[in-house]
Chain A
Amino acid sequence: SAVISQKPSRDICQRGTSLTIQCQVDSQVTMMFWYRQQPGQSLTLIATANQGSEATYESGFVIDKFPISRPNLTFSTLTVSNMSPEDSSIYLCSSGWTSKDTQYFGPGTRLTVL
């Protein structure tokens, strides 16, 4: 299975600042996904990031708030901009799954906004 790592694993940030989360996959993947899990809630897809094209955002998520980069087939970043306490969540990146893979979620970034 692909190994997915995320940085940072956790962070505490001040309101109004921005945080960029990095996601690295140990093999080339076409699609990468960013999910948000608010406290006590399920996972919600923020956007799909394909290399060489703009990210596709789900309803309720906008590029100005969650800009995404996908510079190559193994790496992506998600920025949480102008943060507020409501952005406190776990952010998880994921690669497109295949029948050979069993683990295609990163370990998550636990973000707390004060």
Chain B
Amino acid sequence: AQKVTQAQTEISVVEKEDVTLDCVYETRDTTYYLFWYKQPPSGELVFLIRRNSFDEQNEISGRYSWNFQKSTSSFNFTITASQVVDSAVYFCALSVEYGNKLVFGAGTILRVKS
């Protein structure tokens, strides 16, 4: 069975601080796909990134960066110079079959204060 753990229930930071959201996954499959989603108060899910298990290269997109480490089964997400608009719930998710269902972590509530 697959499992995604986001141990941080809630994180509060002050604007311009850097913040890292942790994600640890469990699967016996050698091929899998990892996702991060943002859910603002409006409720819609906003796709942030998808990473394949065979691509361990870290990724940077503007203020966002992701660190994928298969050795520790982690896929952490860092926001640099956080902004109030980053306040949301962030979900890490796992899929073990291309195009198929996702297993979500519990989510981390990020509060960025001005």
Q: Does A33 have its Cβ within 8 Å of any Cβ on chain B?
A: yes
Chain A interface size band reads 20 to 34
CB-CB nearest in chain B for A95: B99
CB distance from A109 to the nearest CB of B (A): 10
Chain A neighbourhood of B46, CB < 8 A? 103
> Are A45 and B101 also in contact (CB < 8 A) when A97-B50, A97-B95 are?
yes
Could you tell me how many residues of chain B have their Cβ less than 8 Å away from some Cβ of chain A? 19
Report the stretch among B14-22, B62-70, B102-110 that lies at the interface.
B102-110
Chain A neighbourhood of B47, CB < 8 A? 102-105
Q: Does A42 have its Cβ within 8 Å of any Cβ on chain B?
A: yes
CB-CB nearest in chain A for B42: A107
Chain A neighbourhood of B102, CB < 8 A? 43, 45, 94
* Closest CB pairs A-B (n = 8): A96-B99, A105-B45, A43-B104, A102-B47, A42-B104, A107-B44, A42-B106, A42-B107
21 example contacts (A-B, Cβ-Cβ < 8 A) are as follows A30-B99, A41-B106, A42-B105, A43-B45, A43-B93, A43-B102, A43-B104, A45-B101, A45-B103, A48-B101, A92-B45, A96-B99, A96-B100, A97-B95, A97-B99, A98-B98, A98-B99, A103-B47, A105-B45, A105-B47, A108-B44
